[in-house]
Amino acid sequence: MIPREAWSPPVPAEAARLFRREGLTLVGIAAADASPEREAEFKAWLSEQRHGSMKWLDGHADLKFRPDSMLPGCRSVLVAALNYYQAASWRRGENLAQPASTDAPAGRIARYAWGRDYHKVIGKRLSRVVRALQETYPEDSFRSFTDATPLAERYYAEQAGAGFTARNTLSISSAFGSWFLIGEILSTRAFPPSEPAKGRHGSCPQGCYRCIDVCPTGALHAPHRIDASRCISYLTIEHKGHIPVELRRNMGTWLFGCDLCQEVCPLNVRAEVTSEEDFITLRAGDSQLLRDVLSIETDEQYTARFAGSPLMRAKRRGLVRNAAIVAANMRATDLLPLLRKRAADPDEVIAEAARWAIDELNGPGGADAPETRATPL
Ligand code: SF4
């Protein structure tokens, strides 16, 4: 295990203590400089429609690489990290969300979403750090963010020393691999900047393209290039409408998010395991039974089941739609009665996905084929 000190760049001791008190690692500090080159790249990406239906990103075009558009007079970006890696709970036999005894078909959930919603986990703590910083530096202004911000988080994290940007477009640090989440505090105070990460945390090994090779939808279409509109995380979480038919089979068993490009990465092998209670205490867990998801009839039932979990982001429409597609991909013919029910769902996105799944299961090699049966994870 690489000691955390080995990758954390020097930061003011007082600021670091405030983060530590909240269980966060202050990775480092970036100067709040604009980056016209990166801004131009981002705008080109938008003009190629790589962002799919995430139309709100269009409104971020002039803000993303300009921290002072979010905090006037901003001079520093303090970047905090929280690692979330844990072994698959079904291997430990501890999945609270799904009893290990069942072999019913279940859809996979990306690791970051097994426990409590990280926006809540990190957001509250950063707010407390902001209050403490405000007391320490009353003449300055501070503002915290995590994810729900136009800020180019990974760019400033790299500038702050968090990790280099890998070929799969994620930040990779020598302590946490890519299994970490970040939050930021913008400040009008000019803290001494840390050394940028490029090179210090290494780089992708020469000749390694595992993440690109494994991506089932071709979303990672070149090193450092992602077409978000094809990414399984986008399709299963952010995209609220019909999932393009040509991508449905490539979703495999992913019900919410996707970790494939992280799971194959050799730089993730030694990732530090999280000790964060909010992540270890499972809410959705690593998988959900498809029959349970397909049985959710109302938004109220959905909220009762997933409140506080990142799965709230997909809403009932998204998750039940995904469950229908995964049921077809798993040849889960036992679920045909439930799929027929969902085919009459008042939500047309769900109903259409259920009808497609029924056709898949009843088509050539479908429900009547002798080898057909539901396959567990
Ligand atoms: S799988 Fe290989 S190319 Fe992809 S991010 Fe990891 S080290 Fe880099």
- Expressed in angstroms and rounded, the spacing between residue 201 Cα and the centre of ligand 1 is 13
Distance CA 202, CA 183 (A): 22
Which atom of ligand 1 lies closest to the CA of 170?
A: 5
Higher per-residue pLDDT: 96 or 166: 166
Three-state DSSP state, 146: coil
pLDDT-derived band at 14 (thresholds 50, 70, 90) equals confident
Query: Measuring CA to CA, which residue among 27, 90, 48 is closest to residue 285?
Result: 90
Distance CA 173, CA 4 (A): 10
Q: Is the per-residue pLDDT at 375 higher than 70?
A: no
Please tell me the predicted confidence (pLDDT) of residue 200.
58
Which atom of ligand 1 lies closest to the CA of 168?
A: 5
Instruction: Find out whether 352 and 245 touch, Cβ atoms under 8 Å.
Output: no
Q: Is the per-residue pLDDT at 6 higher than 60?
A: no
Query: Measuring CA to CA, which residue among 320, 288, 253, 283 is closest to residue 102?
Result: 288
Distance CA 330, CA 351 (A): 19
**DSSP string across 195-226:** PP-TBTTB-PPTT--HHHHH-TT--EEETTEE
Question: What's the chain's length in residues?
Answer: 377
What are the tens digits of pLDDT across the range 48-77? 999 999 999 999 999 999 999 999 999 999
Positions marked active-site: 147
Cβ of 265 less than 6 Å from ligand 1 = yes
Q: Is the per-residue pLDDT at 91 higher than 90?
A: no
- Expressed in angstroms and rounded, the spacing between residue 172 Cα and the centre of ligand 1 is 9
Cβ of 167 less than 6 Å from ligand 1 = yes
Mean pLDDT of 207-222: 97
Which atom of ligand 1 lies closest to the CA of 261?
A: 1
Average pLDDT, the chain: 89
pTM of the entire predicted model: 0.89
- Expressed in angstroms and rounded, the spacing between residue 287 Cα and the centre of ligand 1 is 25
What are the tens digits of pLDDT across the range 124-178? 999 999 999 999 899 999 999 988 789 999 999 999 988 889 999 999 998 899 9
- Between the two ends of the chain, the Cα-to-Cα distance in Å is 31
What are the tens digits of pLDDT across the range 264-310? 999 999 889 999 999 999 999 999 999 999 999 999 999 999 999 99
Residue 121 burial (10 A CB sphere; 0-12, 13-18, 19+): buried
Cβ of 209 less than 6 Å from ligand 1 = yes
Give the count of alpha carbons within 13 A of 204, CB side only.
20
Please tell me the predicted confidence (pLDDT) of residue 160.
92
Please tell me the predicted confidence (pLDDT) of residue 100.
46
Substitution site in 178, 209, 262, 270 for ligand 1 pocket (most atoms within 8 Å of beta carbon): 209
Measured over the CA atoms of residue 351, residue 354, residue 360 and residue 366, the dihedral's sign is negative
**Per-domain boundaries in the chain:** 4-87+118-187, 210-362
Substitution site in 265, 268, 269, 270 for ligand 1 pocket (most atoms within 8 Å of beta carbon): 265
Give the count of alpha carbons within 13 A of 366, CB side only.
13
pLDDT-derived band at 363 (thresholds 50, 70, 90) equals confident
Please tell me the predicted confidence (pLDDT) of residue 16.
84
Instruction: Find out whether 114 and 86 touch, Cβ atoms under 8 Å.
Output: yes
Cβ of 264 less than 6 Å from ligand 1 = yes
Q: How far is CA 70 from the centre of its chain?
A: 23
